[in-house]
Structure 1
Amino acid sequence: MIQIRHDWTKEEISEIYYTPLLDLIYQAATIHRENKDYSEVQISSLISVKTGGCPEDCAYCPQAARYNTGVNVHAILPKEEVIAAAEKAKAGGASRLCMGAAWREVRDNRDFDKVLEMVTAVNGLGMEVCCTLGMLTENQAQRLADAGLYAYNHNLDTSEDDYKRIITTRTYDDRLDTIKNVRKAKISVCSGGIIGLGEREEDRIAMLKTLANMPQHPESVPVNALVPVQGTPLADQPRVSVWDMVRMIATARIIMPKTVVRLSAGRTEMSTVEQALCFMAGANSIFAGEKLLTTPNPSFDTDMAMFELLGLTPRKAFKNGRPQQIPVIEEETIVA
């Protein structure tokens, strides 16, 4: 019997993380298969509704205004263009559309009003809508919820101790406060991190501990491999090993058994065999479509061919109901 917990110690998570790899994959796969729909994979599509010019100094991000990365600044997209992108993504198999804007925080202005209109319109297509717009107040989170937002992405990126090395223009508590505001509005939480930033393995473990010990586990935890971009401070970081990705995914699956664990950025560098290992270890979500904001990503056709080969099926939208209908599952136990 595996109980969903919120009191993990760093030592316990370390013991899981450093388990011999084949044993770790087996343990994670066993937990994953206790859920009857283990072969279902949520497909999300991510588009940039406002690109570049961000005042933040995130060391990995090509959209930061202070770095010369060749990313052009674009004003917020017309609603019709976003709807067209959503329809294309839905036709390709996506059940969720995530809209990203290169903002430090949401401001109560006409651009935010436009995003609210986009949320309502895409929700009307029968797709789950996710946004990643930077920091949110409690009132702004509620406005997004009222517009029909399903999920909000706000990654922790790395551990609290390592955070200032990567970002100085906001604090770790700022991140956590936004997640709290999202929870208060009954929007599902999407929060994970990036590996390959030059962090220590201890930082990866500490980040997972923060996520797993939240009062309610994030409904979605993206595991991103850094995609180095010329012009950013992390441009020369080496490619993340697939084994590091597998360890992160498997550990997340074991300590957050009901969470959707997303194999996110970095998939273009991974073979089908490497991705299959990640699915075996407990990943059950991907981003599909040619771009993740400004970086390359496999096409829908490529992913559908992989799904057919591996026997995976796309998860339908609103599998667990609308956000306000999603039950709190943290007190449940999963019976082996």
Structure 2
Amino acid sequence: MNTSIQGAIRHDWTREEIEAIFHQPLLDLIFQAATIHRQFHTPGEVQVCTLLSIKTGGCPEDCAYCSQSVHHHTAVKPQPLMHKEEVIAAARKAKENGSTRFCMGAAWREVRNNRDFDRVLDMIHEIREMGLEVCCTLGMLTEEQAKRLQQAGLYAYNHNLDTSASYYGEIIHTRTYDDRLRTLENVRKAGVSVCCGGIIGMGESDADRIELLQTLANMPEHPESVPINALVAIEGTPLENQPPVEIWDMVRMIATARILMPQSMVRLSAGRLQYSPAEQALCFLAGANSIFSGEKLLTTPNPGVDADRALFELLGLKPRPAFKDQLSPAGELA
């Protein structure tokens, strides 16, 4: 563990090493993560992102946590792909409210080379011109499709592994773990930043959480963004009766991710609404430096802009600039 404190970037973590980090006393874990966080990131700087569902519901996948699956009977009503003007207006509002990354999610199993994909490419181009980092989560991608997204100006692509390979079959049956890994490879080959994390609170064990973190940390390149989601149990889904995720589980997951992947942005993602300002502060202390802001995360509730503004003021946090890793010392895009 001392090599971590000194800031080594590794891709060869053993299960035993991660277990030792993950299971250490919580205050020691937070201290270690906070120390590493300050070596690699500006203290008190948090990236503010906005996520918009541009095509909602009707998804053929059977992910047990998701309100948008056709396999589940939830309150979500399917909606077609939004008009470009609506999406651009939402991106503009997000930027005015302090977001530097705008994420668009479409409830597709995979991207198809059709008119809808062309419309998304057009949206990406216009939003990139606004000076926002553009992220998409559209399902599975071929290498050629990932390249088209990159050429349109896409900055990042989100494709979560959700859980460990061992537990995956308990949650999803309509696509394989290898399918997910293949999409991530295609994104990486296209030169697009990778956003990939998981969800806790789906009935998995600590061993599954450790296995997920090992998979992420031992990728040839760490994901630039690692969202840690707490399950939001939605009525009508197979996981509707899962208990809320304790803040201690969230902090332990965030801190371990920070230690294993020092340079990555670790995002406090879904489920944040259930945590108090003090509990969220613990997550930031443990290494989280990215959040989603805005009343909704696709279809689930999220803290509003005013609440986040008050939280930032209370904790002395400041928003991370867009494209920070590409800025010159003068603050211009290199």
Q: Deviations over 1:218-269 (max 9, x none)?
A: 0000000000000000000000000000000000000100100000000110
The partner residue of 1:113 within 111, 118, 133 is: 118
Pair 1:272-2:268 in alignment: no
Q: Does the CA contact (< 8 Å) of 2:41 and 2:263 recur in 1?
A: no
SS in 1 for 2:325: coil
Cα deviation, residue 38, structure 1: 2.2
**What's the offset of the Cα at 1:36?**
5.0
Q: Residue 50 of structure 2 contacts residue 94 of structure 2 at CA under 8 Å; is this kept in 1?
A: yes
Distance 1:276 1:36 in 2: 16
- Show the counterpart of 2:310: 305
**1:233 matched to 2:238:** yes
Match of 1:141 among 118, 136, 146: 146
Query: 1:173-212, CA deviations, whole angstroms, 9 ceiling, x for partnerless residues?
Result: 0000000000000000000000000001100000000000
Q: Normalized against structure 2, the TM-score is what?
A: 0.96
Secondary structure of the structure 2 residue equivalent to 1:155: coil
Q: In the alignment, is residue 254 of structure 1 matched against residue 259 of structure 2?
A: yes
Q: Which residue of 1 aligns with 2:170?
A: 165
The share of aligned pairs that are identical, in percent, is: 67
Q: What CA distance in whole angstroms lies between the structure 2 residues aligned with 1:80 and 1:281?
A: 39
RMSD of aligned Cα (Å): 0.7
Question: Among residues 214, 217, 220, which one is paired with 2:222 in the alignment?
Answer: 217
The one-letter code matched in structure 2 to 1:206 is E
Q: Cα distance, 1:39 vs. partner?
A: 1.3
Equivalent position amino acid for 1:311 in 2 = G
> Deviation above 6 Å: which 4+ runs of structure 1?
none
Cα distance per residue 1:145-186 (max 9 Å; x no partner): 000000000000000010011000000000000000000000
Q: Which residue of the partner structure matches residue 73 of structure 1?
A: 78
- More RCO (CA 8 Å, sep 6+): 1
- Distance in 2, Cα, partners of 1:224 & 1:80: 30
SS in 2 for 1:49: strand
CA distance in 1, matches of 2:38, 2:219: 24
Distance in 2, Cα, partners of 1:191 & 1:314: 21
Q: How far is 1:321 from its partner? A: 1.8
Is 2:38 the counterpart of 1:18? no
Secondary structure at the residue paired with 2:116? helix
What is the alpha-carbon distance in structure 2 between the residues aligned to residue 277 and residue 27 of structure 1? 13
Residue type at the aligned position of 1:79: K
**Amino acid of the structure 1 residue aligned with 2:43:** Y
Distance 1:49 1:321 in 2: 28
Secondary structure of the corresponding residue to residue 40 of structure 2: coil
Distance 2:18 2:209 in 1: 10
Aligned match of 2:332: none
Q: Does the 8 A contact of 2:37 with 2:258 survive in 1? A: yes
TM-score by length of 1: 0.95
Residue of structure 2 equivalent to 1:296? 301
Deviation at 1:35, TM superposition (A): 2.8
Which residue of 1 is the match for residue 108 of structure 2?
103
1:100-150 Cα shifts (integer Å, max 9, x gaps): 000000000011011000100110110000000000000000000000000
| TM-aligned CA deviation for residue 12 of structure 1 | 0.5
What secondary structure does 1:273 align onto? helix
Q: Matched residues in 2 for 1:96 and 1:34: separation?
A: 24
Whole-Å separation in 2 of the counterparts to 1:268 and 1:22: 24
1:185 aligns with 2:190: yes
8 Å contact from structure 2 (residues 56, 106) kept in 1: yes
What SS does the corresponding residue of 1:251 show, helix, strand or coil?
helix
